[in-house]
Amino acid sequence: MIEALKHLNLRARREWLKAAGAASLLAMSGRLGAIPLWKDAKFSDNPFTLGVASGDPSPDGFVIWSKLAPKPLEHGQGMPRRALEVDWLVASDERMLEVVQRGKVIAHPELGHSLHVELKGLRPAANYYYQFIAAGAASPIGRARTLPQADSELSQLRFGVAGCQRYEDGYFTAWKHLAAEDFDFVFHYGDYIYEYGPMRGSKTRPVTRTMPGAPDETYTLDDYRNRYAIYKLDPDLQAAHHATPFVMSFDDHEVDNNWAGDTSEEGVPSEIFLLRRAAAFHAWYEHMPVRRAQMPRGPHIQMFRRFTAGDLMTVHVLDTRQYRSPIACGDGVKANCAEAADPRRSLLGGMQEKWLHDGFKGHRARWTVLAQQIPIMRGDRNPDPKIAALEAELKELGNSMGMGPMGFVGKSMVVDCHIEVAHTHTGGMPMSVHAFCLSSRRAVARLHADGRVEYRTDPAWFTDYHRREGVE
């Protein structure tokens, strides 16, 4: 947090601190005496139109999420500005007969009536099922899975990697296929929504479907809420969330194209852009199955975090946006960009770099996975402004640490390949770098204890996203 403040001017810091104080009060609101509740609540429409989700799994629990929105595309989403108490249940069977935990959670209007429940005390490496009930209305039933104990022997792990899902580009049929998989989790590296206004198609990039209401570019909290509702109404995306827990991250389009730190693509004053970033982060939290630790404080959010699955894998989820130096050389991929090679530049920031360094030193798992958004591989452009800073930082972090295999999972490159596996030594650190090269940006990975990694995709994921059954 202090690292983030260093990069802000005085006025921006004051705005940040004001928002931080408001967010802190909001975080405590469930503990400050009696909250006036909507006692006589009744719904004439389904309040769970946006589905349910689970995320951030641990060996003894996970987060379960939903959001009350009986009229999701209207202002206020059909909810009064009153808090509502909602019941939740967790069961060991998908019919919800063997209930193992139950409780109540308050849907606050300040958080768009979103629901976040952090579960503990569950069995490791086990499937569970969950459901919410609001004023007699029941949500869909979701499936989640706890991670194996950190010290348990694990032979393999299956997870999906996905992101970059622009609504107009095509139907989310890849999510339908991923929903049918038996995953331990899905890592979503970001671009869950796109902030742009209506897309204008072309012969090479047709508009497959249009956003309801043709909304303009997102700037305010209501704008971002509406955009998430449009995306989350998609049945295939909902099916994937119902089927498996997600580890969520974000990239640029959750806020603004190519933003870096407190710098926007348009170059507006930082104190103005930070207001937009605060609205975007607020909406991101409302719609994601993440923990209270990820509740934003104004324009700042604690996104980087780590997960461990048995003795097989430690996942470091990186934040490659908040602490990034301004884009070098006027953006774009440019060869021989001297600014990109400036050693004072950073992608992770000092605080996050130290956190990652400490995580490397304390690693015990056989696989170390960096879950992030940027392709890390050699190409025919050197240096690439978008990866030069990260490459330099990883060289320094890995120097003389004797790491085991390292996997990089993140944004795919649109190149003519399916799998690229390179074994190299970078700064004294033996690395096994496995890069996804999938233009569809959907893949399944299986990590093995002996260092093998398997990737699988389905050709249908690449060919049917312009159509859906029953839709012409």
**pLDDT tens track of the chain, all 472 residues?**
444 444 455 555 554 455 444 444 444 444 434 678 998 999 999 999 999 999 999 999 999 999 999 999 999 999 999 999 999 999 999 999 999 999 999 999 999 999 999 999 999 999 999 999 999 999 999 999 999 998 899 989 999 999 999 999 989 998 999 999 999 999 999 999 999 999 887 877 888 899 999 999 999 999 999 999 999 999 999 999 999 999 999 999 999 999 999 999 999 999 999 999 999 999 999 999 999 999 999 999 999 999 999 999 999 999 999 999 998 887 777 777 888 889 999 999 999 999 999 998 877 888 888 999 887 765 555 555 555 666 666 656 655 455 444 444 544 333 323 333 333 333 333 333 333 333 334 555 666 666 666 656 565 555 555 555 544 3
Q: What is the pLDDT of residue 200?
A: 84
Rounded Cα gap, residues 121 and 268, in angstroms: 47
Q: What is the pLDDT of residue 3?
A: 45
Q: What is the pLDDT of residue 13?
A: 53
Q: Residue 13: count other Cβ atoms within 10 Å of its Cβ.
A: 16
> Pairing relation of β-strands 419-426 and 429-436?
antiparallel
> ω before 148 within 30° of 0 (cis)?
no
Q: What is the pLDDT of residue 205?
A: 80
Q: Residue 341: count other Cβ atoms within 10 Å of its Cβ.
A: 15
Rounded Cα gap, residues 394 and 391, in angstroms: 5
Range 258-261, long-range pairs (CB < 8 A, 24+ positions): 258/327, 258/331, 259/321, 260/321, 260/324, 260/325, 260/326, 260/327, 261/7, 261/321, 261/322, 261/323, 261/324, 261/325, 261/326
Report the Cα–Cα distance between both ends of the chain, in Å, rounded.
49
Please name the residues in contact with 272: beta carbons below 8 A apart, sequence gap of 6 or more. Answer: none
Q: Residue 70: count other Cβ atoms within 10 Å of its Cβ.
A: 18
Q: What is the pLDDT of residue 207?
A: 85
Please name the residues in contact with 390: beta carbons below 8 A apart, sequence gap of 6 or more. Answer: 320, 347, 348, 374, 376
Please name the residues in contact with 405: beta carbons below 8 A apart, sequence gap of 6 or more. Answer: 366, 367, 368, 431, 432, 451
* Residue bearing tokens 């050693």: 343
Task: Give the Å distances, CA to CA, from 11 to 5, 260, 299.
Answer: 11, 19, 13
Name the pTM for this structure. Answer: 0.81
Q: How far is CA 430 from the centre of its chain?
A: 29
Q: Residue 305: count other Cβ atoms within 10 Å of its Cβ.
A: 19
**Sheet (strand 453-456) strand order:** 114-118, 61-67, 52-58, 246-248, 185-188, 156-162, 442-448, 453-456
* Residue bearing tokens 């992608």: 347
Rounded Cα gap, residues 283 and 277, in angstroms: 10
Task: Give the Å distances, CA to CA, from 56 to 42, 98, 248.
Answer: 32, 23, 8
Closest CA to 178 of 162, 192, 194: 162
Q: What is the pLDDT of residue 397?
A: 61
Rounded Cα gap, residues 103 and 87, in angstroms: 6
In this structure, what token pair is assigned to residue 396? 């320094």
CB 259 within 8 A of CB 323: no
